[in-house]
Amino acid sequence: MSRVRGRGNKATEGVLVKIFRGNHITGWRRHLKLFGNPDFVFRKHRLAIFVDGCFWHGCPKHASQPVTNRAFWEKKLLRNKDRDRLVTRTLKKQGWHVIRIWQHELTGKSADRCVSRIRQVLD
């Protein structure tokens, strides 16, 4: 697990960009300076979108606990979840809509559900 490094979430964000383009969703910006550093922001609609990796953010379906150095990883992943809740709560208090999308939701029918969730806010 010592070799596990974050790579900036580029692969999953790229998939969502393709979904946006394929569904003609426009008006988004990437990495806008906003509390919590959302992956995508629709300023006009005050919508912040986060693409959460299943491992790093503790997906209920796909999260796995590393076998070695278990105490470190439990603490690390719990801090990530706590930070996610804080960011979501803070942005909502500031009047933003927040959508969190799991990495595994970017394929198949789940991607269609993501698009409909986004369109609900945009329309």
What is the predicted pLDDT for the residue at 100?
Answer: 94
> At residue 68, does pLDDT exceed 80?
yes
- CATH code, domain carrying 21: 3.40.960.10
Question: Does 3 reside within a domain?
Answer: no
Spatial contact of 65 and 75, defined as CB atoms under 8 Å apart: no
Question: Does 2 reside within a domain?
Answer: no
pTM higher than 0.75? yes
pLDDT digits (tens, 9 = 90+) for 7-60: 556 678 888 999 999 999 999 998 788 999 999 999 999 999 999 887 777 777
Domains held by the chain: number: 1
What is the predicted pLDDT for the residue at 86?
Answer: 97
User: The domain containing residue 61 runs over which residues?
Assistant: 10-122
Burial of 80 (0-12, 13-18, 19+ CB in 10 A): middle
Spatial contact of 23 and 100, defined as CB atoms under 8 Å apart: no
Question: Does 4 reside within a domain?
Answer: no
Question: Does 117 reside within a domain?
Answer: yes
67 or 84: which leads in pLDDT:
84
Looking at residue 54, its amino acid is: C
Question: Does 105 reside within a domain?
Answer: yes
